[in-house]
Amino acid sequence: MDYRRIKDQDKEQDAVHDDIESLRGKPLSGSANSMVMLGGSSSVQSKWKRKSAVTLALTVLTSSQAILIVWSKRAGKYEYSVTTANFLVEALKCAISLAALARIWRNEGVTEDNRLSTSWDEVSVYPIPAALYLIKNLLQYYIFAYVDAPGYQILKNLNIISTGILYRIILKKQLSEIQWAAFILLCAGCTTAQLNSTSDRVLQTPFQGWVMAIVMALLSGFAGVYTEAIIKKRPSRNINVQNFWLYVFGMAFNAMAILVQDFDAVMNKGFFHGYSLVTILMILNHALSGIAVSMVMKYADNIVKVYSTSVAMLLTAVLSVFLFGFHLSLAFFLGSTVVSVAIYMHSLGKLQR
Amino acid sequence: MDYRRIKDQDKEQDAVHDDIESLRGKPLSGSANSMVMLGGSSSVQSKWKRKSAVTLALTVLTSSQAILIVWSKRAGKYEYSVTTANFLVEALKCAISLAALARIWRNEGVTEDNRLSTSWDEVSVYPIPAALYLIKNLLQYYIFAYVDAPGYQILKNLNIISTGILYRIILKKQLSEIQWAAFILLCAGCTTAQLNSTSDRVLQTPFQGWVMAIVMALLSGFAGVYTEAIIKKRPSRNINVQNFWLYVFGMAFNAMAILVQDFDAVMNKGFFHGYSLVTILMILNHALSGIAVSMVMKYADNIVKVYSTSVAMLLTAVLSVFLFGFHLSLAFFLGSTVVSVAIYMHSLGKLQR
């Protein structure tokens, strides 16, 4: 539902954007010039609206994703093979991108920007994020030799810092001093919000564990920043084409993961063994979240993505109080306060640049 | 030792300050004018030095104060009556102020600014901070009906917020938006650093407990801000005279507290019953800390005081690792990070005003 709403909005605003772009191509008289300026300001506004809409969608989807995970855990252990579910997520995202494209082709015809066929040059970079995520996911099995699961949740907050650093280095975008301070606060605040009585064990993580956690954070940050670089490289290119190519390689890598990890299980028990309603909802949610991430990369950036998923984490905790009768800890309130100040500072830093 | 160093520095810089003030009184020729400007810039620098010195002294003294408390607790329960110790602290501060004054009188003679005698108008406000602290200390006995001791330590961080608000309202000084954000972070960071496995109990504090905690925070904040108002009201007035009058009333109120609370114990066991080396060191330390607080009020402000004592709290924890083999928690590291960012932002906010 959310996704469709965004898609529609997206299309409307793409149309506005196209109008301005087509105007820019024409020789400008004085009045046309002022029209462009008017168009420019409404374009800024519509861009802001689109950015807000995709960010909101990502926050809501990520938050409900976590809720579904808690729900599925409460229902019992994972019965299905995770690799098949991951494959289906990629396949579903591919299908949705194709469906969106079909509609665009019907309405607007096939153009240079929305045609699916592509050059080797354009497509050659698309497997890289998928490959990076695959390596990260493989490492995930090994890190548990050094860190327990709650400790890993804590260490995952290193992603925030690695994303900030790689965003700066690779995309060469500046963050103001206040925004850097805000980013450190975001990391500290998220970690604080997740503190519990066993969290201190993470301080006993051996050296190898720290190295792996940092490598994983760098891989994850690099994959995110690299995806943004790919998607932003050609702004006029239709996002659904870009998504299609991203997800095709996602499918391929996940098919490989099925072969390596779960081939026997799939052969003996069947592809859909252990699937339940929650599993299907989770696949649906992951697919929509994935598309929302791509859109945030296209219309906003990795920094917005990090803030969005951080807020989703806090939102999940609050929702869990109502849904599962969870208790919020003092650490959660303190962490949320710090995250709120971080968001405020980030926006303040933006104004001052 | 620290105190003497500050006192000497203080005197030197007072002399510089007096020179400029005496120059200002004279009709200015062009060259005298440029001298004043030179003097003005060196005065800014010396003021900054004095401010840094008293702030550093307060931080070191507050930190060692907490170390002494831990030491005395390790040595066993308080054997001495706290009210007699408090009285001695006030008496010692009074004596130190008089000794400093005697030296100043010998060197500079008695002037309007350093004479001890005073008008009713000037002295009438001095009992108020002492009275406020007394009420707060009395309330302290009752709050433990609602909150346990570690919970009270957590709630005491409300002082930070109350000081900020009263500083704004009573002294009518502006804090920039970033400085307000920094103040909220300071409060959240200090609380985070103090989190332990029992901290969540504070969330079960009944309504009366919250009200009392807030009232105590307001009393403490008001006493601090009011002291600053008194001390800053007449900038040229010698700080030792101001301290003398503050501490005389402190002595009077604490004498009353002995009569009310520990009269029997003092009569039966004697005034100095249960005093040990640690007790004497604690009294000495409290006296010097008290004087450092006054100086921070004179040469800096309540905001600096709050930052200084917060840093002292973190410093104490780090020192306790070496002295008592304490372990630092993950929450401590996160809280310290947030406090560090808060300090950075406070200084950033100052530059931007």
Note whether A195 contacts B195, CB cutoff 8 Å: yes
pLDDT given at position B41? 67
pLDDT given at position B67? 84
**Out of B181, B191, B348, whose CB is closest to A341?**
B181
Judge whether A312 and A59 are in contact, CB under 8 Å: yes
pLDDT given at position B326? 86
pLDDT given at position A78? 64
Picking from B113, B114, B120, B92, the residue whose alpha carbon sits closest to that of residue B102 is B114
Chain segment A174-188, per-residue pLDDT in tens: 888 899 999 999 999
In chain A, % helix, strand, coil (3-state, to 5) comes to: 80, 0, 20
Lowest mean pLDDT among A72-86, A178-192, B11-25, B98-112: B11-25
The CA distance from B161 to B341, in Å, is: 17
Note whether B330 contacts A200, CB cutoff 8 Å: yes
Amino acid identity of residue B161, one-letter, is I
Residues of chain B with pLDDT > 70, as a percent, come to 86
Chain segment A15-54, per-residue pLDDT in tens: 333 333 333 333 334 444 444 444 456 788 888 899 999 9
The CA distance from B161 to B110, in Å, is: 41
ipTM: 0.80
* Local structure of B53: helix, strand or coil: helix
Lowest mean pLDDT among A69-73, B54-58, B66-70, B273-277: A69-73
Task: List chain A residues with CB under 8 Å of B329.
Answer: 200, 203
Mean pLDDT of A142-150: 84
Chain segment B255-313, per-residue pLDDT in tens: 998 998 888 888 898 888 888 888 899 999 999 999 999 999 999 999 999 999 999 99
List the 285-344 stretch of A: residues with Cβ below 8 A of B.
327-331, 334-335, 337-338, 341, 344
Count of A-B CB contacts under 8 Å: 79
pLDDT given at position A117? 84
pLDDT given at position A77? 61
The CA distance from B33 to B51, in Å, is: 26
Closest residue, chain B, to A330 (C-alpha): B200
pLDDT given at position B3? 33
Tell whether the model's pLDDT for residue A69 goes beyond 70. Answer: yes
**Out of A177, A334, A344, whose CB is closest to B348?**
A177
CB atoms within 10 A of CB B71: 16
Mean pLDDT, chain B, whole residue set: 84
Those residues whose C-beta lies under 8 Å from the C-beta of residue A19, and which sit 6 or more positions away, are: A39
Residue A232 — pLDDT band, cuts 50, 70, 90? very high
Note whether A330 contacts B195, CB cutoff 8 Å: yes
Chain segment B306-338, per-residue pLDDT in tens: 999 999 999 988 998 988 888 899 999 999 999
Residues of chain B with pLDDT > 90, as a percent, come to 50
Handedness of CA A332, A334, A337, A341 (dihedral sign): negative
Q: Which two tokens stand for residue A178?
A: 């206040």
For every residue of A18-58, DSSP letters joined together read HHHHHHHHSPPPHHHHHHHHHHHHHHHHHHHHHHHHHHHHH
Domain containing residue B217: 2-352
pLDDT given at position A349? 80
In chain B, % helix, strand, coil (3-state, to 5) comes to: 80, 0, 20
Note whether B341 contacts A181, CB cutoff 8 Å: yes
Residue A96 — pLDDT band, cuts 50, 70, 90? very high
**Cα separations (Å) of B77 from B74, B96, B137, B320?**
8, 29, 20, 19
Gyration radius of chain B's alpha carbons: 21
Q: Which of A152, A177, A183, A185 to mutate to test the interface with B (most CBs of B within 10 A)?
A: A185
Tell whether the model's pLDDT for residue B37 goes beyond 50. Answer: no
Tell whether the model's pLDDT for residue B21 goes beyond 50. Answer: no
The CA distance from A295 to A53, in Å, is: 10
Residue A290 — pLDDT band, cuts 50, 70, 90? very high
List the 160-189 stretch of A: residues with Cβ below 8 A of B.
177-178, 181, 184-185, 188-189
Chain segment B207-260, per-residue pLDDT in tens: 999 999 999 999 999 999 999 999 999 989 999 999 999 999 999 999 998 998
Residue B1 — pLDDT band, cuts 50, 70, 90? very low
Those residues whose C-beta lies under 8 Å from the C-beta of residue A137, and which sit 6 or more positions away, are: A257
Tell me how many domains chain A contains.
1
pLDDT given at position A2? 35
